[in-house]
Homo-oligomer: A and B are copies of this chain.
Amino acid sequence: MPTKRDRDKVSNAVIRRLPRYYRRLDELHRGGVERISSNALAKSMNLTASQIRQDLSYFGGFGQQGYGYHVETLRDKVAEILGMTSGHKAVVLGCGNLGRALLLNFHFAQYGVQLAAAFDTNPELVGTSIGAVPVLDVAMTEEYIRENGIDIAVLTVPQQAAEAVARMVIGAGVKGIWNFTNMELNIQTPGITVEDVHFADSLLALSYLISDQ
C-alpha cells in the first residue's frame, strides 16, 4: 500500500480509472470469473493491457506471472485503494428532489460510505426520515458533523446557499464535498477536496458530440 507521498504521484487520469476497475472487477466476480489477465481485462474495458499493469503498479504488484490476477482479490485491493474500507461517513445537505433522489436511490453503503443524516431548512421535513435516514435541522449541521466525525458532505442545496454551506461544513471538519449544485465553489482550503458533479457540463459535452456529425 502506498504512503501519502506515493499517492501524490498518481495522476488524475489513473484516479478516474480506479472506480471503473472496481466496477468491472466486481461484475466479473459476480459473474463467477475467478482469474483474468491484464489483456482480457483491457479488452473488456477498452483499455490496453500495458495501461492496466502500469496503473496497478502505482499501488503494488497484485498479479502473478503466467496466471494474471485473481479477480476477487484484486477487486478488494482496488476497493481498499479507493478508500471504500476507510469507514467514510457522509451527510446530505438539502433534501430537495436531488437530495431525495440520492437518499432514496443511491446506495452509499455499497461504496463503503455510511450515510448518517440529512439536513434541511424546511420545518415540515425536519424530524422525518427519507429512506431510513433522519432529516435534521440545518442549524444542527456543524455540531452533528463535529460530534459524529463526518468526513463527506453531499451538497444538494440551492445555488444561492451553496458557498455558505460549503464553508460551514469545512469549518465543521469535513474532508470532502460532493458538489451537485452546478456551481464552481471557490474553495482553496488545503486538505479539502471538492468533487463536482456538473450535470450541465456533461449535457453540453453530449450536445457538442451529437452536433454537426
A124 in contact (CB, < 8 A): no
A178 nearest CB neighbor, chain B only: B206
Interface residues on A, range: 35 or more
A96 in contact (CB, < 8 A): yes
Q: Which residues 16-44 of A sit at the B interface, judged by CB distance below 8 A?
A: 16, 18-20, 22-24
Per assembly, the copies of the chain total 2
Cβ contact within 8 Å between A112 and B207: yes
Residues A208 and B18 in contact in the complex (CB < 8 Å), given A184-B23, A195-B202, A203-B111: yes
* Across-interface contacts of A210 in B (CB, < 8 A): 83, 88, 151-152, 175-176, 193
A140 in contact (CB, < 8 A): no
Selected interface stretch from A49-57, A60-68, A99-107: A99-107
A143 in contact (CB, < 8 A): no
Q: Which residues 127-166 of A sit at the B interface, judged by CB distance below 8 A?
A: 151-152
Of B4, B113, B195, B197, the contact of A197 (CB 8 Å cutoff): B197
Q: List 26 A-B contacts (CB under 8 A).
A: A19-B198, A19-B200, A19-B201, A22-B204, A23-B184, A24-B184, A82-B204, A82-B207, A82-B208, A82-B211, A83-B204, A83-B207, A83-B211, A84-B207, A86-B211, A88-B210, A97-B97, A97-B100, A98-B101, A100-B101, A110-B200, A111-B204, A111-B207, A176-B210, A178-B206, A191-B213
- A interface residues, Cβ below 8 angstroms from B: 3-4, 7, 15-16, 18-20, 22-24, 81-84, 86, 88, 96-98, 100-102, 104-106, 108, 110-113, 151-152, 175-176, 178, 184, 191, 193, 195, 197-213
